[in-house]
Structure 1
Amino acid sequence: MTLHRSPLLLPLLTLFCLIHAAPAFAAQTITLDNGDRLTGTVERMSDDIVKFKTGYAGTISIEWKKVREIRSDDEPMHVRLTGNGTIPVKSIIRNGDRILLDQQSEPAVNVSQINPDDWETGKAARLSGEIGLSFKLDRGNTHENRSDIATNLEWKKLKHRVRLAGELEYYKTDGTEIQNRWTVGTTYDNHFSKNLYYGASASVKRDRMTDLNLRWTAGPYFGWNIVNNTRTKFSIENGLEYTSEEYLSRSNESFISDAWRMEFSYFIIPGKLELYHRNKGLVSLADAGGLSFDTWSGLKAPIAGGLNTSAELKTSYNGDAPEGTVPWDTTYRLKLGYQW
């Protein structure tokens, strides 16, 4: 028996396969103020940037002020107004300095987010963190053990944030301890506006190589997120801390200090190569020589599945180091990290 193949059969089968293999996108459209119209899915709007996922160009970023209208023919969008409440809507229309959310009119400045995360509305909390490791074992002509471990945890819910950070540096060669330094610190802050916050911190540090057995600090601070977007982050904090220092070979000291923290990161290649710098320190208000600080600078690149690698330079300074001890300490590290 001979089969007669229709000339339309192959194109129809191809079209059928393409339709069923194509990724599904919610039927949402966005219209810009210049009249351009895009179809896809609104992932979220935050920090005046709309993340819009398309089937032909991936996820694109659009300035919120350039959006004239968003409509959804499928699932509603969740709009967060000033405060913590969200409302489901299927149309968002800008009209001058007001925005129409379905039939509800709101000042444009009251619309802070679209499709916010649960931690931003108080439905849940978010826990994120990172751990970095650097080890060296040498069993040749010398017996050398060196380990550097650093971890950072961050808990966020609504306007509240708790951070916990710790670091251990241990260096021993031929049975002689060269370095034994560790620090643990925690902070709590409350964001009372988009970029400003206040809080309190506490920390404890040991650095026996500079005669410091323990340093305890605690006090309030004020913070400012100068830049905070997907590519660049820059924040500074400053406050007063009560500081108590216990030494191994001299009398202990207590004083009020001016303390600061600074964090900067920038993706040189978005999602591929990150430049970062962190700095924290304090200076005694009673003695300008009582200055100490730590800095971390490096380049970090992701590997896969949350793993990353980085090249880092750490510099520490202790102005209260005893005579005969070098106040400066510099460490170069190649680190393997995991971030979640």
Structure 2
Amino acid sequence: MRKSRLTLIFGTVFFLFGNAMSPSAMAQELATDEPTRIELNSGSILLGDISGASSGKISFKSKSVGLVIIPIERVVRIRIPKSVVIKFLDGRVIRVPEFEAGLDPFEVITENGAEAYSLIDIDAINPEDWLLGRGIHSTGKVRLSWEKQSGNTEQNELDYNFNASWENLKSRWKIRGEGELHSASNEKTSDKFTIVGKTDRFLTGHQKGSHIGANILYETDEFSELKSRYILGLYYGKQWYTSPKFKFLFEPGVAFVGENRENKDKETYPALSWEIEINSNLLGLGTTTTLTQNGIQNLDNFDDIILNTLLVIQFPLISKFTLDTSFKFEYDSGVPATIDKMDETIKLGIGYRW
């Protein structure tokens, strides 16, 4: 019995090993390792892996040039030799064991018969679940900067900044906040806080890539004699560029502003508002550079303007932690004459993003 048992074991091992090394198994292994092939209208051929595709651009990791973003209109042929999920601009989603297409239209069999598509009809490749209408996509960042000095003068400075967003295919919600709490010799020298909430509704059809939204802002700054300021606004936004090298968002709108300052009557006024956000990875080394600007122009008094500009350079450390350098410029023409209208701050802090 022992001999038969050993024979069975060795026979089974030999059978499995033989099948693993058989020509068909080896061919399957080689097929699995076959790279995705993209031919461009310039005649170039790229071999590598598709990280994903959306908004008419393919994120492709080439073996020769690394990660590149390719506008889909530059592609004349693509071959993906493995299972792939493709979402088209009309909302149709298909999963195929492999995919190959060129300039000529290709057919997709549907419950209503064959439908013709072309490469420019592709909206996303291997989209995340939320892009298929399942669940909500969330992102966020938190940044802290703390400085403590002791000696003849004791100083404590805490600066914080956070933002988070949640979105699905139809809507997006954002919240962001920032503040400063500084003291010297146990006397408070800075105490300011701002929080903003936004909701966006994505537009479709020829307005795709645009959105309409509403926001609410509340802020206070004790040492610029601002007891409180609130802003209620409506805006139209458009993401003009979406490449990792250059992303550009512009949101012009209208707002209603209420202010309560020390030694002044409460004031309310209509205003023009705008928000600009630029993101780029052009500096390389895994860094992310973000420039944001928020502006409020008083329509009752054109000499009254609020302008906040923030430049942040994030350098990756470990896991999701970053080393952040921020340059902040805050201009408020309505502050008392004894206070500078422009406030500049440079900070180095630790950030965490998800």
Superposed pair shares fold, TM > 0.5: yes
Q: Structure 1, residues 152-196: CA drift from partner, whole Å, max 9, x if none?
A: 101111132111000011111123322111100011112214432
Aligned counterpart for 1:249 among listed residues 241, 244, 263: 263
Q: Structure 1, residues 249-307: CA drift from partner, whole Å, max 9, x if none?
A: 21100111111111112223335233332111201110112211211124321112111
SS of residue paired to 1:65: helix
CA distance in 2 between partners of 1:151 and 1:249 (Å): 32
Closer, same or farther in 2 for the Cα pair 1:220/1:53, shift >3 Å? same
CA contact (8 A) 1:283 1:291 kept: yes
The 5-angstrom pairing of residues 198-277 of structure 1 reads 198-270=212-284, 272-277=286-291
CA distance in 1 between partners of 2:33 and 2:51 (Å): 11
Q: Structure 1, residues 113-158: CA drift from partner, whole Å, max 9, x if none?
A: 1111112221121111000111111221112111100001011111
Q: Structure 1, residues 27-58: CA drift from partner, whole Å, max 9, x if none?
A: 56435256776665433222333234567876
Q: In the alignment, does 2:211 pair up with 1:197?
A: yes
Q: In the alignment, does 2:52 pair up with 1:44?
A: yes
Q: State percent identity of aligned pairs.
A: 22
Closer, same or farther in 2 for the Cα pair 1:269/1:24, shift >3 Å? farther
CA contact (8 A) 1:69 1:91 kept: no
CA contact (8 A) 2:180 2:190 kept: yes
CA distance in 2 between partners of 1:330 and 1:38 (Å): 47
SS of residue paired to 1:269: coil
The number of aligned residues is 319
**Correspondence for 1:162:** 173
SS of residue paired to 2:317: strand
CA distance in 2 between partners of 1:37 and 1:304 (Å): 35
Closer, same or farther in 2 for the Cα pair 1:328/1:95, shift >3 Å? closer
Kindly indicate which of the two structures has a greater share of residues assigned to strand. 1
CA contact (8 A) 1:25 1:55 kept: no
Closer, same or farther in 2 for the Cα pair 1:37/1:310, shift >3 Å? closer
Aligned counterpart for 2:326 among listed residues 312, 318, 324: 312
Which 10-residue stretch deviates more, 29-38 or 65-74? 29-38
The 5-angstrom pairing of residues 34-113 of structure 1 reads 41-53=49-61, 61-72=69-80, 74-75=82-83, 77-89=84-96, 90-96=98-104, 98-101=105-108, 104-106=115-117, 108-113=119-124
State the TM-score, normalized to the length of structure 1: 0.84
Closer, same or farther in 2 for the Cα pair 1:143/1:119, shift >3 Å? same
Kindly indicate which of the two structures has a greater share of residues assigned to helix. 2
State the TM-score, normalized to the length of structure 2: 0.81
Closer, same or farther in 2 for the Cα pair 1:159/1:109, shift >3 Å? farther
